[in-house]
Amino acid sequence: MERVYIGLGSNLADPLRQLRGALQALADLPHTQVLDVSSFYVSDPLGPPDQPRYVNAVAVLATTLAPLELLDALQMIEFAQGRERKAERWGPRTLDLDILLFGDRVIHEPRLQVPHYHLQERAFVLYPLAELAPAHLRLADGRNLDDLLAACPFRGLERLDETV
């Protein structure tokens, strides 16, 4: 079993319900167990400014699925929850599931980059990840989570009191 960190985000169709549904769908994946889930955070959108704020979280899984098998499963969950892939990047969406870290692997596939290629720029990923990660986590590419957090201020984020 490998430890995998998944970023979850939604800003359409009742985002808290979307994230809870995604967590249940992750728990239902074969050969996979949800080990823990971070707090939920509200964040400003990255893309067009005329969209609702996002609700984000990170989940840690244990899985024997291969990276691309897991990616396919995540995209099926997104689709089942109404995700439409459009040409516009970073636009509103019902659900976004990203593989942030996959064990000790560095993955460079056309469909999958791990560690996630924008991880270091996204407070809405780093702070929930830090809730779940071991102290002083070193990513597979050599970067230290503490350093990434220090360079990415907790701005535009609001931690919710909601529970899974």
Of the pLDDT bands very low, low, confident and very high (cuts 50, 70, 90), residue 16 is very high
85, 96, 138, 161: which one is catalytic? 96
pLDDT band at 37 (very low <50, low <70, confident <90, very high): very high
Q: Is the pLDDT of residue 127 over 70?
A: yes
Q: Of 22-31, 42-51, 104-113, 148-157, where does mean pLDDT reach its minimum?
A: 42-51
161 is catalytic: no
Q: Where are the domains of the chain?
A: 2-159
| Cβ atoms < 10 Å from Cβ of 43 | 21
Burial of 71 (0-12, 13-18, 19+ CB in 10 A): buried
Other CB atoms within 10 Å distance of the CB of residue 81 = 20
Active-site residue, selected from the candidate residues 14, 17, 44, 93:
93
Does position 89 have pLDDT exceeding 90, yes or no?
no
pLDDT number for residue 103: 96
Q: How confident is the model at residue 47 (pLDDT cuts 50, 70, 90)?
A: confident
Going by pLDDT thresholds of 50, 70 and 90, the confidence category of residue 83 is confident
Mean pLDDT of 64-72: 98
Whether 98 is a known active-site residue: answer yes
Confidence (pLDDT) at 149: 96
Burial class of residue 46 in the structure, from the number of CB atoms within 10 Å of its CB (0-12 exposed, 13-18 middle, 19+ buried): middle
| Averaged pLDDT for residues 127-156 | 94
Is-catalytic flag, 96?
A: yes
From 53, 98, 138, 155, the catalytic residue: 98
- Which of 28, 44, 83, 104 does the annotation list as catalytic? 83
* Candidates 3.30.70.560, 3.90.170.10, 3.40.640.10, 3.40.395.10; CATH matching 2-159: 3.30.70.560
Sequence-ordered strand ranges (E) for the chain: 2-10, 32-37, 41-43, 54-63, 96-102, 107-109, 112-114, 157-159
For the chain, how many residues are written?
A: 164
